Amino acid sequence: MSRHPLATPTPTPDSTPAPEDAALARRTLGVPALVFLIIAASAPLTVLAGGATTSFAVTGELGVPVGYLLLGLVLVFFAIGYGRMSSLIQNAGAFYAYVAAGLGIRAGIGTSFLALVTYNAMQIGLYGVFGFTASSVLGELTGLEAPWWLCALMGWLIVGALGVTKVDLNAKVLAVIVALEFVIVIAVSTLSFSVAPEGISTEAFLPEHWLTSSFGALLAFGIAAFMGFESGAIYAEEVKDPRRSVATATYIAVGIIAAFYAFSAWAFSLGVGTSQMVEQSQQWGPDLMFVFLGQHVPAMASSMAALLFLTSILAAMIAFHNAAARYFFSMGRARILPSALGLTGPRNGAPVAGSLTQSSLGLIFILIFTVAGAGSDLGALYPVLTMFPWLTNAAGFGMVILLCVTSVAIMRRLGEDPDQHPLLIRRVAPLVAAVGFGVIALLIMANFDTMIEADSFSALVIVIPGTIVAAGVAGLIWASHLQRRRPEIYEHARQANIG
């Protein structure tokens, strides 16, 4: 049976927020703004300086650029069906809505819990690397010494303040930051080609440098670069033309992310030297790019790059905060979580309640890791060796599961109207994506000890991914509880997804 588009559910009169308090700002974002919001979550400068160098170091392989291309290819197949779904369904809880439409409301609720944990884990984990980086940059530029947690709290204030403002202001701030990031990454790539000590080589693309035992780890690290992929659909209720803008922005963003990251990682390896890239990455880690710049450009330019690296992390934090806030909003509006979470600002349409909830969680975790790290032997590195990798790797695993489940849901939903959707869109593309993400999820599990750099067996190898799986299971249990104890809520959510 054909389903009607899933727009904002009609509130039931007894306990949902009033309509004027439960609607996001409408017709606010165009395609360019949406592209910037998607790419901001992927943080171009952070990927090159942090993600790519870490991948080179941990995998010990030159084929990092190939990983970005392969992941981009799988995401293109996903985007084909995803784009079609975005024209049928507009909901701030995109994965939740798509899975509910394709696999049923119980699976949708389970997915919503998984997505909430995934986006919150990524956003909160970034406070660790932001606090450390901000403390380091502040010390280099001014000579002042500030603890990581104080710098993290400053970032927390900025993100929280923007989270309760109108979304187009967020888009404008992120557009400026992302544009500057691209300038720096392009400058680093250009410099790399000009100084390449071993000449221009395509050796990194040869199979012996990526089709190895480290292939799983290479893909596992690379997937983090695409974490902002869902952002387009999350903002579907706030774009000017949701039936076209989301799909268009998603295609553009995926193409840019995959090609740009592969090219810049390859160029950077040439600048450092093909034979030296792995060794140098293992020695310097995320500082390698700034060491490289310090050897070839004036100190002021290197300092500016470091400052933009900090704003790159901030941009990603803002993007993931917005995603988590909109998931809280969507679930509150559907009354699957407390209806108060569905409240929005009366003047700006921002998901205020969801934003404040996400900010509260961020503050709690900053305080927890501050107390836990006091007196640690890791010293200043404590947040980047614990808070950052533990939470963001959990988020990367969660995102792969979300993409896999959503691919299956898309295949089921579009398959109900075979006359309306070509075979490629309704069956082939989602199936390829589902299989691809399923394989990547298994590879992540097999390489999780490498991802958290555990020298021997660690309970974290089970606890961290187990927490992600447990979130989805908790959602399924909660759905069953609602069906038994609060059937009116369960039925309301179910009807909202079948029209």
Q: What is the pLDDT of residues 31-85, one digit of tens each?
A: 787 777 777 767 788 888 888 888 898 888 999 999 999 999 999 999 899 888 8
- Give mean pLDDT, residues 364-377: 94
Q: Tens digit of pLDDT for each residue in 490-499?
A: 887 777 655 3
Instruction: Please say if the pLDDT value at position 12 is more than 60.
Output: no
Q: What is the pLDDT of residue 220?
A: 76
The three-state DSSP-derived secondary structure of the chain is CCCCCECCCCCCCCCCCCHHHCCCCCCCECHHHHHHHHHHHHCHHHHHHHHHHHHHHHHCCCCHHHHHHHHHHHHHHHHHHHHHHHHHECCCCHHHHHHHHHHCHHHHHHHHHHHHHHHHHHHHHHHHHHHHHHHHHHHHHHCCCCCHHHHHHHHHHHHHHHHCCCHHHHHHHHHHHHHHHHHHHHHHHHHHHHHCCCCCCCHHHCHHHCCCCCHHHHHHHHHHHHCCCCHHHHCHHHECCHHHHHHHHHHHHHHHHHHHHHHHHHHHHHHHCCCCHHHHHHHHHHHHHHHHHHHHCCHHHHHHHHHHHHHHHHHHHHHHHHHHHHHHHHHHHCCCCCHHHHCCCCCCCCCHHHHHHHHHHHHHHHHHHHHHHCCCCCHHHHHHHCHHHHHHHHHHHHHHHHHHHHHHHHHHHHHCCCCCCCHHHHHHHHHHHHHHHHHHHHHHHHCHHHHCCCCCCCCHHHHHHHHHHHHHHHHHHHHHHHHHHCHHHHHHHHHHHHC
- Cα–Cα–Cα angle for 331, 334, 336, nearest 5°? 60
Report the range of poorest mean pLDDT among 143-157, 381-395, 416-430: 381-395
Name all contacts of 183-190 with Cβ < 8 Å and 24+ positions apart: 184/45, 184/305, 184/308, 185/44, 185/45, 185/48, 185/260, 185/264, 186/264, 188/48, 188/264, 188/267, 188/268, 188/271, 188/289, 188/292, 188/293, 188/305, 189/263, 189/264, 189/267, 189/268, 189/271, 190/267
- Select the more confidently predicted residue: 202 or 171: 202
Please give the structure tokens belonging to residue 455. 């020298």
Instruction: Please say if the pLDDT value at position 5 is more than 70.
Output: no
The amino acid sitting at 244 is R
Q: How far apart are the C-alpha atoms of 34 and 382, rounded to whole Å? A: 35
Centre a 10 Å sphere on the Cβ of residue 424 and count the other Cβ atoms it contains: 13
Q: Tens digit of pLDDT for each residue in 203-228?
A: 999 999 998 878 877 887 788 778 77
Domains annotated for the chain, with CATH where assigned, are 19-498 (1.20.1740.10)
Q: Tens digit of pLDDT for each residue in 402-441?
A: 999 999 999 999 999 999 999 999 999 999 999 999 999 9
